[in-house]
Amino acid sequence: MSNATLDIILLLAKIALVFFVILTMAAYLVLAERRILAWIQDRKGPNRVGPQGLLQPLADVIKMLTKEDVRPAGADKWLFYLAPAMAAIPAILTFAVIPFGAPVILFGRELPLVISDLNVGLLFFMALSSIAVYGVAIGGWASNSKYALLGSIRGLAQLISYELSMGLSLVPAVMLSRSFRLSDIVNAQAHVPFIVYQPLAFIIFLISIAAECKRIPFDLPEAEGELVAGFHTEYSGMRFGLFFVGEYINVIVLGGLAASFFLGGWHGPWLPAPVWFIVKVLAFAVFFIWMRGTLPRLRYDQLMHFGWKVLTPLALINILVTGWWLMLR
């Protein structure tokens, strides 16, 4: 077997593995969310399908796939059908740049545990997170429904409120590691994770990614109390499922990014690298679920106010202070 063939096979195997792990994690995150949310509310949550409800994701998938796929009258056919994919694909694509372990030696060659170690990985993530909102915007617009349109407008307004502070909060991480490459950023934290130097940037990033994955308290585009289900009101069956899964993949991916930027990625004592990575990702996921069980939804103007008047100036000041500190060091 030639070297090129082996490379391609290894790469495909890596992609398949990552796909499998992420989709499984996303499916079980739904169950975890329902169970933990239930515990927070002194309930038990789904525990009927399989032991402790462990087969619930499977039952949900069967339900989603066998449901009728409704397209509302007057909806824009192609955009309506495309939007769920446009929401889910950028979320999965972002994982391509996240390193999830130290390079391993396999068949006599070094295999980096990252699908594509782009030298502009951080910018790639920023670009994809902006693209992801197109799924929301187009899905809401193509549905030909008031609630969906209001949800998608909120999604766009939310994007311009948090995106800037999210980008600015990552600048100190880039300044400290002197690279846009995610594996460089992770390796720069081999001894001390950046959260120690940059607690403020970490908090700003955490708030921004909660807004990015449209979770309470920033679930304005969905807002089931006000907008039925927001941008995915008119979706049913697996198309709704795709939005749903995309959201949970987003939680995993953004948790992975937060771990990579501030918590030292896969670095950690005793345990093997991928395990550390998964533990950190799950910690973020659990935190998001916990936050959902605690906080109420922000109002539309409160989010804009918070993003533009609090987070963005704070992030800018943080960059200035980091710059001074780096210069004086």
| Contact residues: other proteins, CB under 8 A | 36, 38-44, 290-291, 293-295
Give the Cα separation of 283 and 297 in Å (integer).
Answer: 22
Q: Is the CB of 156 or the CB of 291 nearer to other proteins?
A: 291
| Cβ atoms < 10 Å from Cβ of 56 | 21
Give the C-alpha distances (Å, rounded to integers) separating 303 from 29, 61, 204, 216, 298: 26, 34, 13, 12, 6
CB of 232 to other proteins, least distance (A): 27
Q: Is the CB of 103 or the CB of 293 nearer to other proteins?
A: 293
Give the Cα separation of 319 and 5 in Å (integer).
Answer: 45
Give the Cα separation of 285 and 269 in Å (integer).
Answer: 21
CB of 39 to other proteins, least distance (A): 5
CB of 202 to other proteins, least distance (A): 15
CA dihedral of 317, 320, 326, 327, whole degrees rounded to 10: -150
CB of 325 to other proteins, least distance (A): 23
| Beta-carbon contacts of residue 81 (< 8 Å; ≥ 6 apart) | 71, 239
Structure tokens at 102: 């130290």
CB of 30 to other proteins, least distance (A): 18
Nearest to 160, CA basis, from 142, 135, 122, 133: 133
Q: Is the CB of 121 or the CB of 307 nearer to other proteins?
A: 307
Three-state SS at 48: coil
CB of 36 to other proteins, least distance (A): 7
Dihedral sign for Cα 208, 112, 89, 55, please: negative
User: 109-113 and 101-106 as β-strands: parallel, antiparallel, unpaired?
Assistant: antiparallel
CB of 45 to other proteins, least distance (A): 8
